[in-house]
Structure 1
């Protein structure tokens, strides 16, 4: 397997393990919900529901946060729940299936079989294609990422 594809697949495998472990921690609950309940003069209570568990982050008048989490943290956690992470990983895996490398050019240059050979100015676009470079850029802070894999600005 191509070095880029092996690296990208390993990143997806790691994220998939983490997402499945997080869901399992909460009894396999995949869908996480963020709720806002306005009470009275005491302020607004914010909850993150994960399966049969509820995490409270309460905001009181004049206070940024009176619970264990800042409300923006709860919103972020709910938006990036394991189910969403697994959908993102599935989409990236499908992109990898579609954008395989090929070498049927006489010069042996490797290019994406889905995108075909293309040119940027006088330079032949080689594998990985722009689609896979975009799929990998979210992992650019991880060990093994190469600057040459950056998508075009």
Structure 2
């Protein structure tokens, strides 16, 4: 079951990265977005979105492609760290997945962000 959960999480991170790269490729000046007045601007100053209330614009600018790419990489590093730590330690106790309970729970927590995805299994909910 752990292998399926890790594969699911890696696929969702791939999806996030692909969408972020597509959004960033539309701009000439980079993937970092900023808010100016009622408009979210790309790195080169091109408008990305207009918002209708103040907090919406702040949210859109904060979720820029650069942040999404950093977040996906951070989650990949967490997965690699778990796998490295558990190597040779967890397989004997948890042969079907190779992770101990604490590491498995944290991977479930990372995957819970994608609970609305059709491939998410309810048994993965932390």
Q: In 2, distance between residues paired with 1:28 and 1:5?
A: 34
**In structure 2, what is the Cα distance between the partners aligned to 1:139 and 1:103?**
27
TM-score by length of 2: 0.79
User: Do residues 69 (structure 1) and 61 (structure 2) align?
Assistant: no
In terms of fraction of residues, the more strand-rich structure is: 1
Match of 1:121 in 2: none
Contact 1:19 1:86 in 2 (8 A): yes
Query: Whose RCO is larger (CA < 8 A, sep 6+)?
Result: 2
Cα distance, 1:131 vs structure 2:
1.2
Please tell me whether residue 20 in structure 1 is matched to residue 21 in structure 2.
Answer: yes
The 2-side partners of 1:93 and 1:4 are apart by 13
3-state DSSP of counterpart to 2:34: strand
Greater helix content? 2
Structure 2: gaps of 5 or more residues? none
User: What's the Cα RMSD here?
Assistant: 2.6
Structure 2 equivalent of residue 104 of structure 1: 92
**Structure 1's 110 and 74: CA in aligned 2 closer, same or farther, altered over 3 A?**
same
**Secondary structure in 1 aligned to 2:38?**
strand
Q: d(CA) in 2 for partners of 1:99 and 1:69?
A: 40
- Residue 137 of structure 1 is matched in structure 2 by 112
- Structure 2 CA distance for aligned equivalents of residues 22 and 132 of structure 1: 27
Report the CA distance between 1:2 and its aligned residue: 1.4
**Is 1:11–1:139's contact at 8 Å kept on the other side of the alignment?**
yes
The structure 2 residue matched to 1:82, chosen from 65, 70, 76, is 65
CA–CA separation in structure 1 for the residues paired with 2:6 and 2:38: 41
Preserved CA contact (<8 Å) 1:49 1:55: yes
TM-score by structure 1 length? 0.66
